[in-house]
C-alpha cells in the first residue's frame, strides 16, 4: 500500500474513527462518505467508536501473502462493533481460543510493513475481554 | 431485443503453461472458437475479453487491443473491449457480448476470457487475488481470499448442518468430474481422506478445499439466433443473462453466508427465461472453495439453506444425479484462470447441450452458469438451452 494511501486513513486506522449519518443515525466503519440509506439527503459526521465488539465469524490464516507470512498462524475475524457496524480485523489470541461470539476490544498494534525499510502499517487489532459470549 | 445463440466454443487446456504466454493462450482459444463456428476473422464485429489482472500478473494492460492485434485483427480495426469483475470477468465478457448482439448493434461477436497466473510466485498471486476483495479494509488487516471464504464457512457451519466430510465431498466429486475432462488441470481422483489430510490454509478450509492457480483461456462466438444456422446445426440459445452486485467487503453483507447477489441474479435469470428450477438439467457454479459450491446451490434456490451438504453427500450433484453440478470439474479440478472461468463454464454447458461431453455426458437440454467475483460482490448468471 502506497504511503499516501495509508497516510490518508491514519485517524481511522489508529483510533477507530468512522462516520455516522445524522439523518438516519446509522454508523459506518469502515467510514463512508455517502449513506446507502439516505444517499444525498444524508449528513455524514465523524464518529469515534468505543472499540468494544463481538466476533461474528473468524478463521485462522495459516498461509498468507508475503507481507503477512511472518505472522502466521493468525486469527482473522469479522467483528460487530457494539454501535452496529462490522469490520475485518485480527484478534490477538491463541488460535484454539478463538470462537464465534467472543467479546473483544480494539487495541493499537503494528499490522504490517512495506518491506524492510518501508512504511510500518499500524492499525487496530482486537483482544479478548472478560464477559459472556454473545451469539448474534 | 434479438434472441442470441452461441455457435462456436474453444478452450485451451487449463494448467501451468510454462511455455505459453498470455497472448499465446488467448490466440489458441480464439482460433478454436472461430474454427468451431466456421467463422472467418473478417466477419467479426467485436471482441469482448474478460481479464482480472494482467497488469499485475504479466505487467500488461490495454488487453483489448493486444488480443485483437495478436488475433490478427489489427488491420480490421475491430472494436475490442476488456471487461473486469475479478473472478467474474469471463461471465461479464459473455454478458457484454450477449447484450451487444441482442441490441442489434453488433452481429458476430467473440467473448473470451484469459488469465496467465503462473508468471509470478504463489505469494504474489495470493496477494493479487485478495484485490478482488476490499484492499483497504480487508486486505489491510491480513485477509486472504481463502481466509474470507473460510469465514463464510465458519459462519455457515455454526448455523446450518454441514459436516466436514460433506464439505470435502464437493472436492471429491469435482475431481471425479475433472478426471473425465481432457482440459482439466487435475485429472486425478481423490478421496475424503485426501481432503481431510491436506494442509490447513485457513480454518476450516484445507488445500483441497481450494481452487488452484491456473493459466488458461476460453472463447465463444455469439450471433443473432436467426443467423445461427449459417454457422452450426446445433446452436445453443442464450435464454437469460443476469448480473447483480453487492458490497465489496464481506463484513458489510446482510448475511455472511448468503450471497445476496447470487440470490438476485439467479431470480432475475429465472424470470427472464420464464423457467423454474425443475427445468434446469445441469449447473456450472463458482466453486472457488468447497463452501462456495454449497452456498451457490442454495442461494440459486435449488434447495433450502443447510441442505446442499447432504445433497452432495447423497450424490444428487454428481454426474448421473438429479442435478449434476460442475461436470467440467469446476474451478477446483478443471482449474481457475480467473478471467477465463466464466467463459469456460459456458463452453462446458454448450458441450453438454450438444451431446459432445464424452464420459461426462449428462442428459441435458437446459443448463445454468453461475460466475462470482470476489466473495460475492459481482455475480453473473446465464441460462442456456437447445
Could you tell me which residues of chain B have a Cβ less than 8 Å from any Cβ in chain A?
Answer: 123-124, 126-127, 130, 134-138, 140-144, 146-147, 150-155, 158, 199-205, 249-252, 256
In this model, does residue B127 exceed pLDDT 90?
Answer: no
Mean of per-residue pLDDT scores for chain A: 95
Give the nearest partner residue to A58 out of B142, B154, B201, using CB atoms. Answer: B154
Write down the architecture of domain A51-129 according to CATH. Answer: Beta Barrel (2.40)
Look at residue B366 in the predicted model and tell me its pLDDT: 98
Nearest CA in chain A to B156: A57
pLDDT tens column, B218-258: 999 999 999 999 999 999 999 999 999 999 999 999 999 99
- Residue A102 contacts B, CB cutoff 8 Å: no
CA distance B84 to chain A (A): 21
Enumerate the H helices of chain B as residue ranges.
22-37, 54-57, 63-68, 89-103, 122-129, 145-159, 164-178, 192-196, 260-273, 290-299, 308-313, 330-334, 341-354
In this model, does residue B6 exceed pLDDT 90?
Answer: yes
- Residue A35 contacts B, CB cutoff 8 Å: no
More confident residue, A116 or B105: B105
Residue B178 CA to residue B218 CA, distance in Å, equals 17
Look at B151 and A1 and tell me if their CB atoms are within 8 Å.
no
Look at A78 and B135 and tell me if their CB atoms are within 8 Å.
no
- Residues from chain B contacting residue A9 (CB–CB below 8 Å): 136
Four-residue CA torsion sign, B138, B140, B141, B142: positive
Q: Which residues of B are catalytic?
A: 87, 336
The domains of chain A are located at 1-48, 51-129
Q: Say what percent of chain B tops pLDDT 70.
A: 100
**Cell numbers given for A65:** 501473502
pLDDT tens column, A24-54: 999 999 999 999 999 999 999 999 999 999 9
Give residue for cell 483482544.
A127
pLDDT tens column, B292-333: 999 999 999 999 999 999 999 999 999 999 999 999 999 999
Confidence of residue A114 (pLDDT cuts 50, 70, 90): confident
Amino acid at each position: 500500500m502506497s504511503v499516501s494511501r495509508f497516510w490518508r486513513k491514519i485517524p481511522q486506522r489508529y483510533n477507530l474513527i468512522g462516520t455516522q449519518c445524522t439523518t438516519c443515525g446509522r454508523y459506518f466503519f469502515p467510514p463512508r462518505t455517502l449513506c446507502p440509506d439516505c444517499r444525498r439527503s444524508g449528513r455524514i459526521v465523524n464518529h469515534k467508536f468505543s472499540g468494544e465488539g463481538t466476533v461474528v465469524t473468524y478463521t485462522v490464516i495459516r498461509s498468507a501473502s508475503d507481507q503477512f507470512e511472518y505472522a502466521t498462524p493468525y486469527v482473522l475475524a469479522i467483528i460487530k462493533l457494539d454501535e452496529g457496524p462490522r469490520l475485518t480485523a485480527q484478534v490477538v489470541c491463541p488460535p484454539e481460543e478463538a470462537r464465534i461470539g467472543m467479546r473483544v476490544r480494539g487495541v493499537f498494534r503494528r499490522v504490517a510493513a512495506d518491506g524492510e525499510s518501508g512504511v510500518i502499517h499500524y492499525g487496530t487489532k482486537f483482544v479478548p475481554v472478560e464477559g459472556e459470549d454473545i451469539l448474534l | 431485443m434479438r434472441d442470441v445463440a452461441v455457435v462456436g466454443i474453444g478452450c485451451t487446456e487449463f494448467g501451468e503453461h510454462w511455455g505459453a504466454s498470455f497472448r499465446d493462450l488467448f490466440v489458441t482459444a480464439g482460433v478454436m472458437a472461430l474454427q468451431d463456428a466456421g467463422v472467418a476473422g473478417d466477419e467479426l464485429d467485436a471482441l469482448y475479453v474478460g481479464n482480472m489482472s494482467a497488469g499485475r500478473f504479466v505487467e500488461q494492460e490495454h488487453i483489448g487491443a493486444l488480443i485483437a492485434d495478436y488475433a490478427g485483427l489489427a488491420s480490421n480495426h475491430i472494436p475490442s473491449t476488456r471487461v473486469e469483475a475479478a473472478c467474474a470477468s469471463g461471465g461479464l465478457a459473455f454478458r457484454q457480448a450477449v447484450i451487444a448482439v441482442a441490441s442489434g448493434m453488433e452481429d458476430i461477436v467473440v467473448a473470451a476470457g484469459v488469465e496467465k497466473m503462473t508468471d509470478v510466485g504463489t505469494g504474489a498471486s495470493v496477494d493479487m487475488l485478495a484485490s478482488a476483495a476490499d484492499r483497504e479494509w480487508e486486505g489491510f488487516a491480513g485477509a486472504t481470499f481463502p481466509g474470507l471464504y473460510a469465514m463464510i464457512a465458519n459462519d455457515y457451519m455454526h448455523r446450518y448442518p454441514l459436516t466436514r466430510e460433506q464439505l470435502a465431498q464437493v472436492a471429491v466429486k469435482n475431481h471425479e468430474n475433472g478426471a473425465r475432462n481432457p482440459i482439466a488441470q487435475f485429472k486425478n481422483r481423490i478421496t475424503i481422506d485426501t481432503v481431510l489430510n491436506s494442509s490447513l490454509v485457513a480454518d476450516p478450509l484445507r488445500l483441497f478445499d481450494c481452487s488452484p492457480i491456473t493459466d488458461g483461456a476460453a472463447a465463444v462466438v455469439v450471433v443473432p439466433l436467426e443467423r445461427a444456422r449459417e454457422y452450426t446445426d446445433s446452436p445453443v440459445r442464450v435464454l437469460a443473462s443476469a448480473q447483480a452486485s453487492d458490497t465489496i467487503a464481506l463484513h458489510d453483507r446482510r448475511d455472511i453466508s448468503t450471497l445476496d447477489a447470487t440470490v438476485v441474479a439467479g431470480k432475475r435469470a429465472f424470470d427472464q427465461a420464464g423457467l423454474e428450477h425443475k427445468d434446469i438439467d445441469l449447473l456450472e457454479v463458482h466453486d472457488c472453495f468447497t463452501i462456495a459450491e454449497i452456498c451457490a446451490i442454495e442461494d440459486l434456490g435449488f434447495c433450502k439453506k443447510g441442505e446442499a451438504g447432504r445433497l452432495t453427500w447423497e450424490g444428487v450433484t454428481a454426474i448421473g444425479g438429479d442435478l449434476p453440478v460442475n461436470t467440467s470439474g469446476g474451478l477446483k479440478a478443471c482449474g481457475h484462470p480467473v478471467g477465463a472461468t466464466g467463459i469456460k463454464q459456458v463452453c462446458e454447458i454448450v458441450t453438454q447441450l450438444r451431446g459432445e461431453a464424452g464420459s461426462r455426458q449428462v442428459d441435458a437440454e437446459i443448463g445454468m452458469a453461475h460466475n462470482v467475483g470476489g466473495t460475492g460482490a459481482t455475480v453473473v448468471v446465464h441460462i442456456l438451452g437447445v
